[in-house]
Structure formats: C-alpha cells, structure tokens
Amino acid sequence: MNNQINEAFSRFLSKECRPEDINILLKYVASDDNDTELKQLILQSFYDKKPALEHLRKTEPDYDDVFNRIREKIHQNEPDQVPVNDSNDTPSVGRLRTTRKWYMLAAAVFLFALLFVYLLVDNRTGASADMARQTKYKNDVEPGGNRATITLADGRTIVLDTLTTGSTTAQGDASFSKTNEGQLEFSTSENREQPLQYNVLSTPRGGMYRLVLSDGSTVYLNAASSIKFPVSFGAGERVVALTGEAYFEVASSTLDNGKRRPFLVQVSSGEADDKMQIEVLGTHFNVMAYANEARMQTTLLEGAIKVAAEGGNATLKPGDELQVDHQGMRTKHGIDTKEAVPWKDGLFRFEGADIVAVMRQVERWYDVEVAYKGSVLHHFTGEAHRSRNLSELLNVLESTGKVKFEIDGRRVMAMPQE
C-alpha cells in the first residue's frame, strides 16, 4: 500500500478529504485484491487514534466477517457480464459505461460501509473503556476549574464562585467585578497619594483564576497558589507577592517623570530560604514556586526580566528559563515559548518526568492525595488535557506498561505494573 492511499484514507476518516482523494479511494476499494490491506488500514487507523485501548484487540468480534458481508452484498447486485459483440468482440460503449459506473458506485458504497465499521469500532471500544474504568476504579475524580477566594484588605473573604457575573464590589477608591469570561477585574482612579491596601487572591488545589490588576496587567493563577497585590498601585514601583505558580502579562506604565515604572514580583515557595525577586521590564513570563517542588523557576516568553535570588542575579531574554534551588541558579536557553506554559493552555506536558513529579501536578489539579506501593522506574514524556477526568489521565499513563493505579475516594495509589 503506497503513501498516497494512506494519506487519502487518513483525510477521509478525519472528514478533510479532497475530491482527488475520493477518486483515489474509489479506484482502490473497487478491487477485491485490496481487501486485506484495506481491513488492516481501517483497524490500524483506529488504534493509532487510541493507542491506550490496544488491548481491546483481544476481544474484537470477527471484523473479517463484517467486511466480507459488505462485499457479498455488493456482488449479489452486480450486473450481468458484459456481452461480447459477435462482429468485433468489443463491448458496446453504452454497456461499458454502465458497468464502469456501477463499479464506482459499488466502491463508494463499500468505502462508506468501511467508515461505518470504523465508527462502530470507535463507539464499541469507547464504551468498553468506560466499563473498564468503572470496574477498575472505585470512583472517578473530576478535573479542577475556575475556583478561588479573595481576602480583602479589611479582612473579609469572598468565595468568587458566589459572585454574580457582572456585579461590582466597591473597595475604597477602587472596585472589582467578575466578568463574563470568569476573571476578576480591578479598576481604580489610581490615586497615588492614598496608602496602599493589599488583597490576597488564592486558588485551592483543583482551582485556577485570572486576575486583572488596577494597572491593566493580567495574572493567570495556577492551582494551590496565591498572590498578594495592592488594590491600587502607589506612585512608585508596582509590587506583588506570589506563592505557587502564575503567568504574568505586565502592562507598561510610566512614572510622573516619564521613566518606566518598575513592576516587581516577590516570589516565595513558602520555605524560609526559597525566595527570589523578579523585576519586570514590560513582559510575559511564568513563575513557579511550590514548597513541594525541588526548585523555583521562571520562564520568559516576551520582553525582559531581571531576577535576584540567593544564588546571584540574572537577566533573561525570551526563550530563557531560570532555575533556582539550594545549589544556586542556572539558566536554560532556547525554550520553546509556544509550549512553555502548558497549564495556562489547558494541558499537562511532561518531558522526561519521573512518576513523583507527574503525580505532584495531579495532586494539585485534581485535589487528591497520592501514595506509592513499590518503585516506578520510568520517565514520562507526552501531554494530556487537564479538562479530562482523572481516570482518563491515569489510563494514558498506564498505557506505557510501566505503572498502574487505584482510586479510592480522593486517594490514588500508584504502583509498578507486574
């Protein structure tokens, strides 16, 4: 089977085929000689789509029988053989066109019948996978979502889920509202003579939130994180404090003398020695500082930042990632900025991560506790959607053949596969 057939068939299954693809496939399926290859192609296309369900091959019905019945049905209605003209042994043009037209129609019927079988397999194995998950796990856990609380300067705490979309809450000379996009947006008269008042926005495990500060800067706060920020920034530098993980899009601002107005992020993992300060020079960047992670790190996507930590100072340019731990600081260059912040884009992304590193992310996003039975000596590379239930993510990890899981309430047990 050549690449042209493979590519045309792939586009056909994804409903992106072109007219020339249909012609190629019609000619191909019109021949009985291609049945075996065609059956292999359609089944392999399914398992390429869902590799984690490869084991279901063992319980498949006899698809050969299904394919053969389609063929037999077509041949039962096949027109009589084209008669031979006694004078010159040449079929009549009219009958030749009719027969050729029938074969193309039969090929089309067969092609779409194959698509039906493909969808039948898809639905069957999807249902089988759901049954397998229900049997294997005592329960499932839904993914995290847009959840956070805000503690105001006067001590009041508001669960943001309870705020009505579009409602406005006054706070001194400032106010904030929950927008239709599910973000918290502050506005202020920017009276820089007023004393600073600080709010704290916190996300639980299984939560994330987007915040627009009074200067127009946007902060995406990941799970189990908090940011302390002023209701309205003062006349000098803009300062916020972060624990956990956040992605910043900092708005440019100038002082009264026309000079750039600094934006500083004071970062702490919660441990006494794990601190750093980031000076922003108009930029987009991500910061991660969790107490249970081995290091703090910041990744620059746009602009420039200066970082000061116990291990020294560094200036980053786009594509740089700075890591800070007890051994000092080091910079990685050439990071793919389009893939640098997967959590913000709704993804888990693992690059050679061990099982403990993977499950720390699982704990934060699904709000579960993970325990281990035995050692899983494998490093994981790949990505998965954060919008899926926990069982679906665990099944993807199990498809490596290196690890298996049990779910009981909000407790997950990880162990090596035997």
Q: What is the pLDDT of residues 74-113, one digit of tens each?
A: 455 444 444 444 444 544 545 544 444 544 555 555 555 5
* Residue 191 banded pLDDT, cuts 50, 70, 90: low
- In the prediction, which pLDDT does 257 show? 78
Which residue segment(s) compose the domain that 106 sits in? 3-135
156 and 206: one domain?
yes
* Residue 135 banded pLDDT, cuts 50, 70, 90: low
240 and 296: one domain?
yes
pLDDT > 80? residue 150: yes
**Mean pLDDT, range 149-157, rounded to an integer:** 93
- In the prediction, which pLDDT does 14 show? 64
pTM: predicted TM-score of the whole model, two decimal places? 0.68
Asked if residue 140 is part of any domain, the answer here is no
Domain closes at, from 312, 339, 366 = 339
Of all residues in the chain, the percent with pLDDT exceeding 90 is 45
Domain closes at, from 135, 159, 177 = 135
350 and 335: one domain?
no
Asked if residue 276 is part of any domain, the answer here is yes
Q: What is the mean pLDDT of the chain?
A: 79
105 and 15: one domain?
yes
131 and 152: one domain?
no
How far is residue 327's CA from residue 314's CA, in Å, rounded to a whole number? 15
Give how many domains the chain has, as a whole number.
Answer: 3
206 and 107: one domain?
no
Residue 176 near residue 209 (C-beta atoms within 8 A): no
Higher pLDDT, 120 or 370: 370
* Residue 187 banded pLDDT, cuts 50, 70, 90: confident
pLDDT > 80? residue 400: yes
399 and 296: one domain?
no
65 and 213: one domain?
no
* Residue 402 banded pLDDT, cuts 50, 70, 90: very high
* Range scoring the smallest mean pLDDT among 15-19, 233-237, 249-253, 391-395: 15-19
